[in-house]
């Protein structure tokens, strides 16, 4: 990623930290459970973005993967659990469910830490745009593991309703995909509009 892009991302993170500081100041003057929940959500989101920033920034010439046999279903269940907790804290948050578990490969050789981080970023993006529902699924296609996140939002090209995008998520997902290689094949990311409405994110890992 270019230096200019990093400067813009750092500026956005600084603004987000300033907003969090203002929320915490308000809590000092007048404690409020609702505002405390909002501050907590913003704090966890800021932490997630900083981890992404450090991962991409520290990659240099590319991320280094440490792959092991992992269960795609277990990763997706973990993401669903985190989303369910967020839904309890933040009313109106879209519901996240799992696709057909029978269609998911039992195991795949991948770097769980990096792939989970990429999926977390993609899920966060889908939940920003989704109206009510997000679906997580996995399948094997053409000797690739395809991890997908589908939402029921307005589709690609829509204006970000939360105004919280830094571009980190996209950069991270692409870096994670390209870092996974096998027999001359390289991972990739696909973003498409769904025929029934909404968008679909796909992470293809060889």
> Kind of pairing, strands 185-186 and 181-182?
antiparallel
Least confident of 8-17, 118-127, 178-187: 8-17
pTM of the model: 0.78
Residue 63 · residue 179 · CB < 8 Å: yes
Higher pLDDT pick, 137 / 41:
137
> For position 59, what pLDDT does the model report?
62
How large is the average pLDDT for residues 89-102? Answer: 90
Residue burial 101-131, b: 16+ Cβ < 10 Å; e: rest:
eeebeeebebbbebbbbbbbbbbbbbbbbbe
Q: Give yes or no for residue 124 having a pLDDT over 80.
A: yes
Where in the chain are the domains?
3-205
Q: What is the predicted pLDDT for the residue at 147?
A: 98
Q: Are 94 and 133 in contact (CB under 8 A)?
A: yes
Paired residues of 68 in beta bridges: 110
Confidence at residue 82, expressed as pLDDT on a 0 to 100 scale: 86
pLDDT digits (tens, 9 = 90+) for 132-181: 999 999 999 999 999 999 999 999 877 766 555 556 678 788 889 999 99
**CATH code for the part of the protein at 3-205:** 3.30.565.10
Among the residue ranges 62-66, 92-96, 105-109, 143-147, the one predicted with the least confidence is 62-66
Q: Are 176 and 115 in contact (CB under 8 A)?
A: yes
CA atoms of 151 and 129, how far apart (whole Å): 7
Residue 125 predicted with pLDDT over 60: yes
């Amino acid at each position: 990623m270019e230096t200019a892009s990093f400067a813009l991302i750092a500026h956005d993170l600084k603004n987000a930290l300033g907003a969090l500081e203002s929320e915490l100041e308000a809590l000092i003057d007048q404690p409020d459970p609702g505002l405390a929940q909002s501050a907590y959500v913003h704090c966890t989101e800021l932490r997630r973005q900083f981890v992404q920033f450090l991962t991409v920034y520290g990659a240099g010439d590319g991320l280094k993967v440490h792959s092991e046999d992992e269960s795609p279903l277990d990763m997706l269940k973990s993401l669903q659990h985190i989303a369910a907790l967020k839904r309890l804290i933040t009313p109106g948050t879209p519901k996240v469910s799992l696709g057909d578990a029978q269609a998911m490969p039992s195991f795949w050789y991948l770097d769980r830490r990096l792939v989970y981080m990429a999926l977390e970023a993609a899920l966060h993006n889908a939940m920003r745009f989704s109206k009510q529902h997000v679906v997580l699924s996995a399948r094997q296609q053409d000797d690739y593991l395809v991890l997908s996140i589908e939402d029921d939002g307005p589709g690609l090209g829509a204006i970000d309703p939360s105004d919280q995008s830094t571009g980190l998520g996209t950069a991270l997902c692409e870096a994670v995909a390209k870092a996974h290689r096998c027999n001359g094949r390289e991972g990739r990311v696909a973003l498409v509009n769904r025929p029934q409405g909404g968008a679909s994110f796909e992470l293809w890992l060889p």
